[in-house]
Amino acid sequence: MIKIYGSPKSSSGRCFWTLEEVGQTYEAKPINFKEKEHKSKAYLKINPNGKVPSLTDGDYTIWESMAINMYLAEAYKPELIGEDAKERGHVYQWSIWAITDLQTPLIDIFIQLVFVPDEKKSMETIEKAQAKIPALLNTVERALDNSKYLAGEKFTLADLNTLSVISVCDLIKYDLSSYKNIISWKSVISERPAFKKYMQLCEQ
């Protein structure tokens, strides 16, 4: 039995979505951060970093959301990571870029807006992060000029992983209306049954 540690509303969300895409039965294991469950001896044996997500599949353990998603796809639905080396290369490219380049300014803003008390919020941090976002989103927008999906004409983890990061824009109320290709791409993906199931999990 696959077990996923974390919440669909956290950075674990992209892993819940991938689990729905690959169609495997799994058990969700919430981690109570207020009770310091992430620092318990039992959990640190699963993830020595004391973070989520983590996943166990029988006696196999893996952590880090992008790595978890690559594992799930390769183990249970390989077409999600591409049909050949070139397609897989683009899946890796977009996934790594999304979490290293695109996610950084979005999360910088999210932290300031959600977790930092009003009297300590740094407008300088927010403004610097906001200045970086248009060029990053334009990278996605241009890639979708002549392609339905990021790695070609089929949905792959390139789309799932990248959209999971772009979705932070909704949380920080960043206006995407000028990015017509991204809006269309998001709309198509939002109709996927696995995505709808993932969104239902977030609402519970």
What's the CATH code, domain 2-76?
3.40.30.10
Among 17, 26, 24, 23, smallest CA distance to 69 is for 17
pLDDT at position 204, please? 79
**Run means of pLDDT, 10 residues per run, the chain, 204 residues:** 94 96 96 90 95 97 97 97 94 97 96 90 94 98 95 96 96 96 97 96 87
CATH of domain 80-192: 1.20.1050.10
Specify the pLDDT at position 62.
98
Output the pLDDT for position 57.
Answer: 98
Could you identify the residue written with the tokens 């897989």?
88
The pTM (predicted TM-score) of the whole model is 0.95
At residue 20, the 3 state secondary structure works out as helix
Q: What are the boundaries of each domain within the chain?
A: 2-76, 80-192
DSSP letter (8 states) at residue 83:
S
CA separation for the pair 128, 34 (Å, rounded): 31
